[in-house]
Amino acid sequence: MLFSRVVEVSAEVGSTRSRLAKVSALAELLRGSEDTEAVVSFLVGVPRQGRIGAGFRTARQLAAPPADEASLRVSDVDGALGEFAAESGKGSAARRAALLAALFAGATADEQDFLKRLLTGELRQGALEGVMLDAVARAADVPGEAVRRAFMLSGALPATAAAALRDGVGGLARFRLEVGRPVRPMLASPAESLDGALAGAGPVVVEHKLDGARIQVHRSGDEVRVFTRTLREITGTVPELVELVRGLPCESVVLDGETLALRDDGKPRPFQETMSRFGARDARELLLSPFFFDCLHLDGDDLLDRPLRERLAALRSAAGRHVVPGVADATPESAAGVLRDALDGGHEGVVVKDLDSPYAAGRRGKAWRKVKPVHTLDLVVLGVEWGSGRREGLLSNLHLGARDADGGPPVMVGKTFKGLTDELLAWQTRALLAIAEERGEWVVRVRPELVVEIALDGAQVSPRYPGGVALRFARVVRYRPDKTAAEADTLDAVRAMLPERTAPDGGGAPLDPREPAADDPRSQDTADGQG
């Protein structure tokens, strides 16, 4: 298959808001591809070889004249990237440069642009994964649930697609839970209130929602591996967790949970202190404590499809006192008591879980509902404005985007400069300048990859932004380096916060274009949460 065909379909998918149109275009391409894994990798914006070491500066320095006609094949591009990733040792820099120069010399202008964005991460469209899964199911004529389950267990979308297109349902069924290979984590959906989360629910367990970092631990005999929510391995930086899991009363286990640093009184330290361990190359003095809330495998028995009630029994058997506090078969009264205890302990709130539900990895649904007294959203930073006054010389006012669930670019839903400490302002300035795509006199546009947690009082209809909705009284809680842009909250999640009598396609008066800038002290309580 010609590489140009992949580039054309990528442009076609990016130009439409229709999920059906995206799925149709991708499925048609996959049916005619003999290089399925490479094609899928390119389209979701991550080379099959992973991070190959060709960064933003390297890609931007490539200036080969474009080819007049498309001649590169998908296998040519995939092979060149594989050679690039494999180069090491003395003289490797020159050999890598030559490989990229040769690749770009054979590419048309559109192909060169695609390659640059692929190499710099600008093509990375994690939000497109859901659309791609639907396209794989259509192209292979297999049930979508079979594709999603295989992807959950493999953690690799290209391999899942190749199996589906080559061997159908039988190929997908060969993906099994494998101790040592991480599984995509099950996710919780937000609930407006505890009563709302309990309404209409059957038997549930209500657990503390800890202000920590998601972990997944795998043990087989004495071998222990620890992964983050993005499936990145961090075993070498958390020896205390490895030692604890190695001492559990079992031979093999896969546990899902959270870890956090605690104060002497048992309350959690700031989230940033916990996350400092995850970016470290070596173990630090700050010790982490694990709290597990699910068991996916125990001593040779896979539990993914078992109801949560059975998984919790296995969890208690394996993890003992290291289980997240909670109450099973909770009544409204006991659930309220768990919420009070969680908040008194310095945690975020509670999670309400259906005791009859299986482990639906990688998906948000109503089986798990998180309840927090303060509304928060995880949004993507799209740009930032230079500050004024005391913040002059610092990047201050954030432009915030919600994820498009159908794989399009993030949709802007508001701005805020509230909640930023001096330390966070300094860090933010360095971090955002490092991913800047365009530096204007007033606004710096950045690659949409940093996720920030925003507290807000709700949302309201607004014609200012393309999604028709704006945040109210938004303020920064913290950055979320443990999350990717693909895990940010969707535009639908923002719209769900609208008052019931409003809709994003109606109501709301246009904002006065003469209103003061967000960093101007005259700016108070504006519709997009800048006040």
- Count of other CB atoms within 10 angstroms of residue 243: 10
Can you give the C-alpha Rg of the chain in angstroms? 24
Query: Is 209 known to be catalytic?
Result: yes
Report the distance separating Cα 91 and Cα 96, nearest Å.
9
First to last CA, the chain: 53
- What SS3 class is residue 334? helix
- Supply the DSSP string of 230-291, one letter for each residue: T--B-GGG-HHHHHHHHTSS-SEEEEEEEEE-B-TTSPBPPHHHHHHHHT-SS--SS--EEE
C-alpha closest to that of 172 among 190, 153, 185: 153
- Count of other CB atoms within 10 angstroms of residue 232: 11
Backbone CA torsion sign across 375, 309, 291, 257: negative
Looking at the DSSP bridge assignments, the partners of residue 215 are 228, 257
CA distances (Å), 508 to each of 130, 414, 505, in order? 32, 15, 9
Report the distance separating Cα 491 and Cα 113, nearest Å.
28
Task: Select which of 209, 353, 370, 372 is catalytic.
Answer: 209
**What are residue 50's phi and psi, to 5 degrees?**
80, -150
Catalytic positions, written as ranges: 209
